[in-house]
Structure formats: C-alpha cells, structure tokens
Amino acid sequence: MRSTLQFGRFNYPWRGDRVRARVMGILNVTPDSFSDGGQHQSLEFAISHAEQMILDGVDIIDVGGESSRPGAPPLPLAQELQRVMPVLYALRDQGPAISVDTYKPEVMREAIIAGVDMINDINGFRAPGAIAAVRDSDCGLCIMHMQSDPQHMQLAPSYSDVVAEVTAFLRERIEALTAAGIDPRRLCIDPGFGFGKTVEHNYALLKATGQLIAELGVPLLAGLSRKSMVGAVTGKPVEQRMAGSVGGALAAVAQGALIVRVHDVAETVDALKVWQAGTNLQR
C-alpha cells in the first residue's frame, strides 16, 4: 500500500501512525498596488512574507504569479515567469518545501530547473504539454479539480452529483499521469473549493474528504482559506475569515486531509498542534 507522498526533497507519511498534517502557506507574487515600486519591491515584499511564514512554522510555500480568483484574466507567460522565478530561486534553500502554483507547462519546466519540490496545478495537468513538462522530474504534483476556468467558473456552476463528478475527474487525471509513467507516490488530489462550485457543492465535497481519499488512494490537499464558503457560514467579510478558515482546515484534517493551503500560517500551525496533541491521528 502506498503510504508516503514523495515530492522533490521531501517525503511525507500520509497513512499509519507517523502522520502529521502539513501547512502550505500562500505566497502571491503580484505587483504591490499600494506603491509604484514595481518588480523589485514586489520581490522584496514576497521574500519578507515568506520569511515570516518560515518563522511561523510553514511546511510548504506555494508561490503563484497569476490570480485564480473568480473573474481573473489569464496572465501572459512572460509576466508570470518574471514574477515567480526570482522568488523560487530566492526561497529554494530556505528550509520549507517550495511549490509553484501554475498551469502553464513553460512555467513548470522553468520552476523544475529552479528546483521546486511541487507543482500545484489548478487545471489538473490538462494543458497540452503539462504532463510531459513534469514527467521526468521528481516533483510532487497537486491535481486540482476546476469546472470551467477562473474567468467563468462562478457564473453558473452545475453538477448532477458533485462528489461523483469530482471523483471521476480526479480519477481520470490520476490515470492520465500514471499512464505517462509518473510514480503515483508523487500525486496528491484537491477538490478545488470555490473553483466552479456553489457553497453547497463546496461543503458536500468537504464532507466527502475521507471518501475521496479512500476511493482514489492518494493524499488530499484542501484549500479553503478565506474563501466565500467560509464567509457563507460565518457571515464575515474576507478580512475577518481567519478563525473560520482555521475551523475549515481542522475539519479537512480531521477527515484525513494531509495538507492545508492557508493564508494564516501561524494560527493554523498552532491550531493543528493542539488538535493533534489531543487526537490519535491514525490512518
């Protein structure tokens, strides 16, 4: 039975008695809208944000240059490379695992040369050339489900059975990647909260965390930090969703999620430490 997630320089047990849930910190490298400092300033800001996450106990830093918020337009390749590559090179030897959030095969290739440990693809490695770009590396691969694309995904999300359809999609992508020769121990799955889903779809998937892991046999990453599904339950605007997001992360981990993708690293790390100290996490 496969029981470790193997990615780049790292190896996480995800079944058995040595399991510890891991925190992936979100590092968006987008131009600083409050200054005209340009590229250099956004690089400095990203590095100091990453340094704080490291002090806070982050396990993986997920570096992204293109926004995937509902309605966000695609970012040209050259601009994405210009934003993320200096950050990947600067962070690669700082301790935590480094992930790049991209669906573009060209960015995947450059990031692998820079030495990233994980590729986080919201498009599930469906772009032509994406599988070829990652096949011969040792990077971990996060396969996320998304209905439609970021510009259109929240216009009218529709499923007849969201859990069955997301499971079928993820199964098909696991098969496509392993058929290309990729070691299944490099894979993790993600239901893609908020990516072409209503609040009801999101909670149906969150409640199905254990079922997804059991049916697909790979570890699961959950990303619900500050998303509208948290706001829908708490009634809070985005800047007041930290506690709700920590609650959602614990709900996912309690059902077997291995990695939680979050903005609030310090709070999530503390919550997981206490939760784990009071739980027998055996899978």
Torsion on CA atoms 196, 199, 204, 210, rounded to nearest 10 = 80
Nearer to ligand 9MG, 96 or 223 (CB): 223
Q: How far is the CB of 28 from ligand 9MG (least distance, A)?
A: 9
**Cβ atoms of residues 167 and 123 within 8 Å:** no
Nearer to ligand 9MG, 37 or 184 (CB): 184
Helix (H, G, I), strand (E, B) or coil at 3: coil
**Cβ atoms of residues 4 and 218 within 8 Å:** no
Nearer to ligand 9MG, 42 or 197 (CB): 197
Nearer to ligand 9MG, 68 or 209 (CB): 68
Q: Shortest Cβ contact with ligand 9MG: which residue?
A: 223
Q: How far is the CB of 196 from ligand 9MG (least distance, A)?
A: 12
Q: How far is the CB of 222 from ligand 9MG (least distance, A)?
A: 7
| Residues whose CB is less than 8 angstroms from the CB of residue 62 and which lie 6 or more positions away in sequence, other chains included | 24, 25, 26, 27, 99, 100, 101, 118, 120, 261
CA–CA dist 265, 272 (Å, integer): 10
Taking residue 11's Cβ as centre, other Cβ atoms within 10 Å add up to: 11
Strand partners, 37: none
Q: Which two tokens stand for residue 42?
A: 């956004």
Nearer to ligand 9MG, 238 or 277 (CB): 238
Q: How far is the CB of 121 from ligand 9MG (least distance, A)?
A: 8
Q: How far is the CB of 62 from ligand 9MG (least distance, A)?
A: 7
Binding site for ligand 9MG (CB under 6 A): 64, 68, 101, 120, 122, 142, 144, 190, 192-193, 221, 223, 261
| Residues whose CB is less than 8 angstroms from the CB of residue 271 and which lie 6 or more positions away in sequence, other chains included | 246, 249, 250
The closest of 214, 216, 133, 184 to 7, measured between CA atoms, is: 184
Q: Which residues are catalytic?
A: 227, 261
